[in-house]
């Protein structure tokens, strides 16, 4: 049992993620710098895993470790390691809205597994933590897809060849790729966003989507911004899910007019994202999108970020709430 | 009108191509070294484009330039250049079977456009010839997809993001990637092979296919043979089209047992291909596949080839028939 590298307490930050990325439904996602969730894990004398505090959840999250996404992931890890009798206390500090399309439950699950793994001396690598974080997220979401958990854990742009087999690959990130992510203050449950999708789609649409996903991957790998831009189209989920987001196409037009490479729904929504070449265009696109929501009026938060290449990480402290 | 670089006669060779490549239905194809079609183009005094000879077609191909795939492509090019009054004679030497799934009509169309372009001093680049070769192939096939014409023209592995826009990209070819392509002597019309496909497919299948296509592209770009192998699966066309090919799954098992990375139908079939790491495995896979067809018995031709990186090219002469 690893003890040498044990520390008494670790604080970790798990970032928000943009899943689907237009044409990559269930197979592509990337991490951004903020927002994200913080989790503190510390040793305790009393055996077993306990949640001692949750903040930022408006009282919505369960304190029962077997029901909370973060600790379901951590428990699955401890079970795998035969260490469920370890005394560990967990604090969860949610800094991301629920049902936002920013991978909130994925961030908690990743943070839970990663914090406990760190606390007990890091027996597993990040990649090895993937299935445990997935178990945590699936406990909240019901579905099994790694397009949030993958990039949240590993950082960068993550492509998932097969969700069942957890066959994932990190893609190189073009140097100047930025995102404007805007979260309008409405809630969409992933379940509802999934039910709005048809069970069958035209083969012609699948071929289009396959062409665009392939184009996006080639564009990302080869830093070809033109190809990236021509490829960011979703003919499957976006046309149906946009109905759940007020003035979606108006926001899209505004982002594209501001010079974005592409614009679509982040995960199941309601957050939207614009991929951009450079920080400046991302800021302009973010502003343009916010303006559309403000005019409704629909309050919203804008996040401008490069692709976060680190994923979940240990931090010194939890920053004060702004 | 370009004359300086005119030569009195050009002979070109256009190679066979493997389209679809399992998970890349209508969006991916690669060229092989042989078989292929030869076309001779030469200047003539009498204005207009004429076909003076066709060999290897068992009399099946039309001599009318407006009906022959090769000259439809060439005429479309000449029309674009405002040069339809040029006196040009064309000889077509088919060295590929019809309805073989090896891109026979694409090869003729590419050869026609390329030969005439060369003869008149090469006013257009290979990439610029793509739409004219496409017109030629569409005249035979009825469909508009560049996964044969693209690699036949450009060489290498070609990905087509969008067939309508002809947005194509050449992928890097892993150094030691070989193919065993086996053509059993039955004929499948592309039209029939298309009609066997459903109009709608389950979204879950589309997601699987998208994951595999993305994995295959990443694997090819990053020379990751493991990822290539895990990705070569077609859940859309192969399960339906395999019925048209006797003992398809037996041949697949034989190829995989011989060490192939993957095995599927070439284009619309009946040809099948095994992608392999190295010439030796490709030879073993080719032999194993042939053995399955021989046992039926079903005569067949085996072609062992690396990915042909040149595409259509000028040659000195037409080799003797073996």
Query: Residue B263 — φ and ψ, nearest 5°?
Result: -150, 135
Q: A-side interface with B, Cβ within 8 Å?
A: 23-28, 159-163, 165, 167, 169, 171, 197-203, 205-215, 217-218, 221-222, 227, 230-231, 236
Residue A2: per-residue pLDDT: 35
In angstroms, what separates the C-alpha of A249 from chain B's closest C-alpha?
Answer: 23
pLDDT for position B256: 98
pLDDT tens-place string over residues B104-154: 999 999 999 999 999 999 999 999 999 999 999 999 877 888 999 999 999
Pick the residue of A150, A158, A210, A225 with the most B CBs within 10 A to test the interface with B by mutation.
A210
Residue B2 confidence (pLDDT) above 50: no
Q: What is the pLDDT of residue A136?
A: 96
User: What's the CATH architecture for A9-171+308-314?
Assistant: 2-Layer Sandwich (3.30)
Give CATH for domain A177-306: 3.30.70.890
Predicted pLDDT at B5 = 43
Distance from C-alpha of A243 to C-alpha of A253, rounded to nearest angstrom:
16
Separation between Cα atoms, residue B261 and residue B282, nearest integer Å: 10
- Six token digits for residue B294: 């021989």
Residues from chain B that touch A173, judged by Cβ atoms under 8 A, are none
| The token pair that represents A98 in the structure block | 């629920």
- What is the mean predicted confidence (pLDDT) over B281-298? 98
Instruction: Give the C-alpha distances (Å, rounded to integers) separating B212 from B22, B218, B274.
Output: 9, 10, 16
Q: Which tokens hold the place of A180?
A: 């404007």
What is d(CA A77, CA B210) in angstroms, rounded to the nearest whole number?
30
Nearest-Cα distance to chain B for A205, in Å, is: 9
Band the pLDDT of A7: cuts 50, 70, 90. Answer: low
Of A24, A200, A236, the CB nearest to B200: A200
Average pLDDT on B11-33 reads 97
The residues of B annotated as belonging to the active site are 137, 190
Spans of all domains in chain A = 9-171+308-314, 177-306
Contacts of A210 in chain B (CB under 8 A): 23-25, 27, 206, 209-210, 213
pLDDT at A190 over 80: no
Residues of A in contact with B221 (CB under 8 A): 218, 221-222
| Nearest in space to A217 (alpha carbons), one of B159, B68, B289, B191 | B159
Is B110 in contact with B71 (CB distance < 8 Å)? no
Contacts of A33 (CB under 8 A, 6+ apart): A15, A303, A305, A306, A308
Tokens of B304: 């062992």
The pLDDT of residue A302 is 98
């Amino acid at each position: 049992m690893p003890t040498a590298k044990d520390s008494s307490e670790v604080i970790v930050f798990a970032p928000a993620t943009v899943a689907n990325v237009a044409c990559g439904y269930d197979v592509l996602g990337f991490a951004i710098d903020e927002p994200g969730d913080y989790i503190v894990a510390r040793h305790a004398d009393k055996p077993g895993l306990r949640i001692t505090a949750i903040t930022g959840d408006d009282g919505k999250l369960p304190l029962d470790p077997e029901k909370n996404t973060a600790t379901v992931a951590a428990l699955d890890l401890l079970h795998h390691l035969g260490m469920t009798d370890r005394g560990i206390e967990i604090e969860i500090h949610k800094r991301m809205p629920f049902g936002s399309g920013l991978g909130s439950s994925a961030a908690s699950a990743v943070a839970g597994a990663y914090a406990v793994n760190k606390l007990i001396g890091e027996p597993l690598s990040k990649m090895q933590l993937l299935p445990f974080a997935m178990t945590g997220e699936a406990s909240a979401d019901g579905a099994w897809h790694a397009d949030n958990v993958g990039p949240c854990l590993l950082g960068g742009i993550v492509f998932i060849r097969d969700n069942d087999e957890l066959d994932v690959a990190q893609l190189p990130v073009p140097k100047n790729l930025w995102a404007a992510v805007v979260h309008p203050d409405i809630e969409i449950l992933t379940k509802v966003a999934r039910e709005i999708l048809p069970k069958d789609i035209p083969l012609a649409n699948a071929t289009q989507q396959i062409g665009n996903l392939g184009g996006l991957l080639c564009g990302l790998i080869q830093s070809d911004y033109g190809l990236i831009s021509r490829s960011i189209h979703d003919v499957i989920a976006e046309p149906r899910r946009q109905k759940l987001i007020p003035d979606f196409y108006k926001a899209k037009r505004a982002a594209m007019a501001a010079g974005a490479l592409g614009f679509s729904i982040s995960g199941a929504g309601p957050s939207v994202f614009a991929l951009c070449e450079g920080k400046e265009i991302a800021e302009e696109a973010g502003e343009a999108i916010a303006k559309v929501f403000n005019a409704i009026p629909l309050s919203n938060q804008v996040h401008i970020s490069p692709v976060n290449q680190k994923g979940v990480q240990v931090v010194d402290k939890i920053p004060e709430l702004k």
